[in-house]
Amino acid sequence: MNNKEYNNMREIINDIAITYADKNAFILKNPDKSYRNITFKEFADDIRSLGTALLKKGYKGKKIAVIGKNRYEWAVSYYAVVNGLGVVVPLDKGLPEQEIENSLALSGAEIIFFEEKNLDVMKRILEKKTTNLKTLICMDDIEEMDTFNKLLEIGKNEIKKGNNKYSKLKIDNNKTSIILFTSGTTSIAKAVELSHRNIASNVSGLNKRELVYDTDVDMAFLPFHHTLGCTGLLFFLSNGATTVFCDGLRYIAQNLKEYQVSVFFCVPLIIESMHKKIMNTIEQQGKMKKVRFAQKLSKFLLKFGIDIRRKLFKEIIDNLGGAMRFVVSGAAAIDKQVALDFNSFGILTVQGYGLTETSPVLCAENWEFIRTNSIGKPLPNVNMKIDNPNEEGIGEIIAKGPNIMKGYYNNKEATKEVLKKGWFHTGDLGRMDKDGYFYVCGRKKNVIVLKNGKNVYPEELEILLSQLPYVAENIVFGIPKDDDLVLTTKIVYNEDYVKEKYGEISEEELKDKIWLDIKEINSTLSNYKHIKHLVISSEPMIKTTTNKIKRKDEIEKIKL
């Protein structure tokens, strides 16, 4: 466990370059399928070289955007900009052209690192002159403009000649160094201002909470433009772990085995998909009873300090590459059974909680304390509490700590709404138990208030519905009827599962079967939480680029 207290990102980069100098920080796959290893020292040297070239070009103090898939060049570009040179603006590669343009305009970015496949988009935005954009830098090798590799060479040559100005640039730990957009379209997304202190303190807090070894291999699943993706990368690197990149969702299983991946941060969708494949295979092989018995046996033996899980479930672990030992799920609630199963197999699976505005982690479980459905306890350097709790102990989750953002860029009103007397108001409703574990009940804006004054938290019901094997995704909401609200769910079903399980079945017949399951769920709930209307579809719901359902857009499509 790394117990060092970092003040800024440069300290982290310098530290790992010395501590793990000749160890592989990254393993890259070349187009010809051969591999290229990048040591921690080479990573730090590349950051310094690129930063030196950007400084020589006169880009000090500029806002510089980075857009593209997770790749080594993205990471080097980001840290070269942020470590004393200017303000980095990570952008979502999944945004349509107009939204990229809007993001550049709102942030004021003058320079952008991008991928060759986006060359035409960048040229059009540059020519329109609706933004401050002046300079394009391609992360791939092309002739017509500055590229990552061209600048890297310029920087290396400058350093050879004795140019060390970049390394001497001063870093103000509390000054805005990152402008990062929250998920959603830029018409509603806010630009979050983060500092070196915000990110470094979060890495320090994570290091005191989670156990990562320098023998670990991390697969960078979460996009780097996402705070958890980028902070997570630095967290793993700060412990000497090696980072690798996924070739695409279709190749996850192959890549896990290829690189012997042992740790990663992910969204629930990824681990739930893995779980579903594993359990389907077990069921098809007729081994479910055997596996459930083995889980009970291993749980019993654990009480006496005997841990045979990884031996007992070796076949399952081998299907996940053979080295998987630790998974952190964030961004949304993970299915309870998925977490229970993975932990019972000997793969530590924990939940974390946070927001872009909190750099991002506020709270997390670890090997020491796991409690079903909880998000764990606050990081050691974070304070959390429930604001104005009701009779059930549910109120808004608020937090205070060095990881809390400076504010929203050029939006004082929005900043005042969430930062009050030093506390950040998350907009999430939750509760805390007597042992200090926190639980998220749902978004404050999503809560359904019924005529009788009862509050229904849709996320609670959505988790229950998601456990039905044919449910791909679902939302729960209230539709007005007379002078009250009718609890309604929209379920998107998995066509392949339905066809395999039920054969040729009409949608009405399927709906009847789903109703039977919903009635079963209703029977376990208080009357006021009963779902009374059902909409089904095979079409995926409208989502943001970070795969969050656009609840408002979906609800507007539905009519009783």
The answer for residues whose C-beta is within 8 angstroms of residue 436's C-beta and 6 or more apart is 377
Q: Is residue 230 pLDDT above 80, yes or no? A: yes
Contacts with 340 (C-beta within 8 Å, 6 or more apart), sequence order: 372
| Mean pLDDT in residue range 53-68 | 98
Which residues are CB-neighbours of 169 under 8 A, at least 6 positions away?
Answer: 51, 55, 60, 83, 84, 85
Most confident of 20-24, 31-35, 266-270, 498-502: 20-24
Q: Is the per-residue pLDDT at 92 higher than 70?
A: yes
Please, what's the largest Cα pairwise distance for the chain?
A: 79
**Type of residue at 105:** A
- Cβ-in-10-Å burial (0-12, 13-18, 19+) of 452 comes to exposed
The more confidently predicted of residues 209 and 450 is: 209
Q: Any residues with CB less than 8 A from the CB of 251 and at least 6 apart, and which?
A: none
CB-based burial, 460-487: b 16+ in 10 Å, e otherwise: bbbbbbbebebbbbbbbbbbeeeeebbb
- Residue 185 in this model has a pLDDT that exceeds 60: no
The closest alpha carbon to 529, from 439, 465, 433, 440, belongs to 465
Model confidence at 559, in pLDDT bands (50, 70, 90)?
Answer: low
Structure tokens at 420: 């009050």
Q: Measured between alpha carbons, how far is 175 from 197 in angstroms, rounded to an integer?
A: 9
217 contacts 241 by C-beta, under 8 angstroms: yes
Q: pLDDT tens digits, residue range 327-360?
A: 999 877 788 889 999 999 999 999 999 999 999 9
Cα R_g (the chain), whole angstroms? 24
Name the percent of the chain lying above pLDDT 70: 98
Tell me which of 187 and 315 has the higher pLDDT: 315
Residues in Cβ contact with 194 at an 8 Å cutoff, skipping those fewer than 6 apart: 176, 177, 178, 179, 180, 227, 359, 405, 406
Is the pLDDT at 142 greater than 50, yes or no?
A: yes
Residue 370, both tokens: 């796991």
Please state, in angstroms and as integers, the Cα–Cα distance from residue 5 to each residue in 81, 83, 383, 384, following that order.
23, 18, 17, 21
State residue 414's pLDDT score: 92
What pLDDT, on a 0 to 100 scale, did the predictor assign at position 249? 82
Mean pLDDT score, 210-218: 97
For residue 51, is pLDDT > 70? Answer: yes
* Residue 143 pLDDT exceeds 50: yes
**459 or 22, which is more confident:** 22
- Could you give the domains of the chain? 9-220 (3.40.50.12780), 267-444 (3.40.50.12780), 447-557 (3.30.300.30)
DSSP H helical ranges for 345-494 = 412-418, 458-466
* Model pLDDT, residue 26: 98
What integer pLDDT is reported at residue 332 of this predicted model? 78
Q: What is the pLDDT of residue 184?
A: 47
pLDDT, position 546: 67
3-state secondary structure of 30: coil
Please state the rounded mean pLDDT for residues 157-170: 97
Give residue 173's pLDDT band: very low, low, confident or very high (50, 70, 90).
Answer: very high
* Residue 548 CA: distances (Å) to CA of 147, 219, 269, 474, 537: 34, 22, 11, 11, 18
Is the pLDDT at 433 greater than 70? The verdict is yes
SS (H, E, C) 199-212: HHHHHHHHHHHCCC
Which residues lie across from 88 on neighbouring strands?
64, 178
> Stretch 223-250: mean pLDDT, rounded?
94
CA distance 394 to 409: 31
Going by pLDDT thresholds of 50, 70 and 90, the confidence category of residue 53 is: very high
Query: Residue 180's pLDDT band (boundaries 50, 70, 90)?
Result: very high
* pLDDT of 503 over the 60 cut: yes
According to the model, what pLDDT value does residue 457 have? 87
What is the pLDDT confidence band of residue 187, given thresholds at 50, 70 and 90?
Answer: very low
CA–CA distances in Å: residue 39 to residues 35, 198, 215, 243: 13, 26, 14, 11
DSSP 3-state assignment of 319?
Answer: helix
Query: For the stretch 52-78, what's the b/e string if a residue is b when 16 or more beta carbons lie within 10 angstroms of its beta carbon?
Result: bbbbbbebeebbbbbbbbbbbbbbbbb
Looking at the chain, the whole-number percentage of residues with pLDDT higher than 90 is 78
Question: How far is the C-alpha of 365 from the C-alpha of 352, rounded, in Å?
Answer: 6
Tokens read off for 320: 């996940």
DSSP output for 340-380? HHHHHTT-EEEEEEE-GGGSSEEEE--SS---TT---EE-T
**Span 397-401, average pLDDT:** 97
What CA–CA distance (Å, rounded) separates 382 from 497? 43
Rounded Cα distance, 396 and 206, in Å: 23
Give the Cα-Cα-Cα angle 79, 84, 85 (nearest 5 degrees): 80
Confidence class for position 560, pLDDT limits 50, 70, 90: very low
Closest Cα to residue 432, out of 464, 384, 391?
384
Partners of 138 in the β-ladder = 114, 147
Reported as a pLDDT band with limits 50, 70 and 90, residue 183 is low
> Can you name the residues that pair with 87 across neighbouring β-strands?
63
Q: What is the rounded CA–CA span in Å between residue 181 and residue 60?
A: 22
In the structure encoding, which two tokens stand for residue 430, read together? 């939750």
Say how many C-beta atoms besides its own lie within 10 A of residue 290's C-beta.
11
Q: How far apart are CA 418 and CA 273, in angstroms?
A: 35
- Going by C-alpha positions, the residue among 239, 243, 242 that lies closest to residue 213 is 239
